[in-house]
A and B are shown apart, each in its own frame.
Chain A
Amino acid sequence: MSFVETIIETCSQLPPFPAVINRALNLMNDPNSSVQEIVETIQYDQAITANVLRVCNSAYFGLRQSVGSLQEAVIFLGFSQLIEILLSGVSGSMMGKAVSGYDLEAGELWKHSVSSALLSQIISRRIKREQNPMLFTAALIHDIGKVLLNAYVKEQSETIKDLVKTKGVSFLQAEKDVLGIDHAELSAHIIEQWNFPQKIIQAIRYHHTPLLATSDQEAVYQIYLSDLIAILTGIGGGVDGLSYSGFEQVMHHYKLNEKDIERFMAQLGDQIQKVEAMIQVQ
């Protein structure tokens, strides 16, 4: 087995994506399903429900009375907000720990993920695209590959950093040059294993190299921008820092300018407390 195959093989060590969340996402995409059906799907998972209720009852959401069930949470927070909390909790269970190879402390990768997900909504509002729980999910898990690549990046940390410093290549390129695979590609492998739709797999595979995507450009571009703006803002910035490439073609595609980037950052800045409320490290 080659070194790259050994790395890809580690994907099988990850727990499967929670089946109830998958069912809920499928129901959400089905126009004939009701909120009640989705709540019923989720409520039998006690760990997930407990986590959702804890976040709903945090000071940020400012509910007058505490909620004790998902039904109540839907009434007080609305369905879409409940789903955001639900999905963020799932990403936390997979990405909440420290990722030392990237110099990220516990909760930092999670914070970056939740920020990217909120940015995906901020951006889709601006470019007048439909707000899609699938895109929100893609933004939440786009960096899952870092969790597995972590050990290898740590081992080769000096070589990778040196390549970035002396050759001026992106951190992604340095990962690929040194390890034979980068975190975006590894993320895509993981998500393929979870049987996610092709659109999501593409968006995640090309989240640093959007111009290489040959299909699903809309999803790819939106995830690219969501991640990039979270990186610019510095949220969950690690050893890779801002060593990623900017592609103005993506901006032209949506007729966006530099002021739009600033507005996106300001809107995210406005939601930092929401991010903090959603990532309650247990």
Chain B
Amino acid sequence: MKKIVGIADMEVCNDWKTGLITYSLGSCIGVAIYDPVAQVGGLLHYMLPESQIDPQKAQKNPFMFADTGIPLLFKEAYRFGAAKNRIIVKVAGGSQILDDTGFFNIGKRNYMALRKILWKNNILIKAEDIGGQVSRTVRLDLATGKVWLKYSGEVEKEL
């Protein structure tokens, strides 16, 4: 079965027959986490770095922001039996437009926010594919824990 994770959305699951997939990551970032022992996986597709820009929206949908979405992704995985020291983290997205002078560099800010949160919590990123101008699709296969990455117009490859 395939569960689709929308924009500003998250799914956590422990059914090995399931695949989690999120489409068209532009400047947004997809965070895939997996505990191979508990066979628990989660996928978050967040849009923006910090919830302080609009606390009301963060309350309504915490998955819109890195600082509210990432902690919830881990918490939910723990609830399903995942353990922090076993969790493998892979991330992709954070694209940029051309001639960016700073106004539009959401992708970069999204990535900085992610790094900051993980670093504070002593969590390492196992693999990443960040930046550029591409539109990405990310898929987490719960049976194997493998994360598959697809650039629009190209073939899927393992991250």
Contacts and interface: CB of A to CB of B under 8 A. Distances in A.
Interface string A218-243: 00000000001001111111110111
A251 to B, nearest CB: 5
A234 B28 contact: yes
A266 B54 contact: yes
Interface string B80-98: 0000000000000001111
Given A263-B53, A272-B7, A231 B98 contact: no
Interface string B11-41: 0000000000000111110000000000000
A246 B107 CA distance: 13
Interface string B122-159: 00000000001111000000000000000111000000
A157 B132 CA distance: 19
A39 to B, nearest CB: 34
A262 B53 contact: yes
B152 A234 contact: no
Given A234-B135, A266-B64, A246 B101 contact: yes
Classify chain A's interface size: 35 or more
The majority secondary structure among interface residues of chain B is loop
Given A170-B98, A242-B97, A266 B152 contact: no
B61 A270 contact: yes
Interface in B33-83: 47-49, 53-54, 57, 60-61, 64
Contacts of B103: 246, 248, 251, 256-258, 261
Contacts of A244: 97-98
Nearest to A276: B6
Contacts of A246: 97-101, 103-104
A253 interface: no
B152 A103 contact: yes
A262 B103 CA distance: 10
B111 to A, nearest CB: 14
B16 to A, nearest CB: 27
A168 interface: yes
A164 interface: yes
B114 interface: no
Interface of B: 6-8, 24-28, 47-49, 53-54, 57, 60-61, 64, 95-107, 109, 132-135, 151-153
Given A228-B104, A263-B53, A266-B48, 10 more contacts: A170-B98, A232-B106, A234-B27, A242-B95, A245-B97, A246-B104, A251-B103, A258-B104, A269-B8, A269-B47
Interface of A: 103, 108, 157, 161, 164, 168, 170, 228, 231-239, 241-248, 251, 256-259, 261-263, 265-267, 269-270, 272
18 contacts: A231-B26, A232-B26, A233-B27, A234-B25, A234-B26, A234-B28, A241-B132, A246-B98, A258-B109, A262-B48, A262-B53, A262-B106, A265-B48, A266-B48, A266-B57, A267-B57, A270-B57, A272-B8
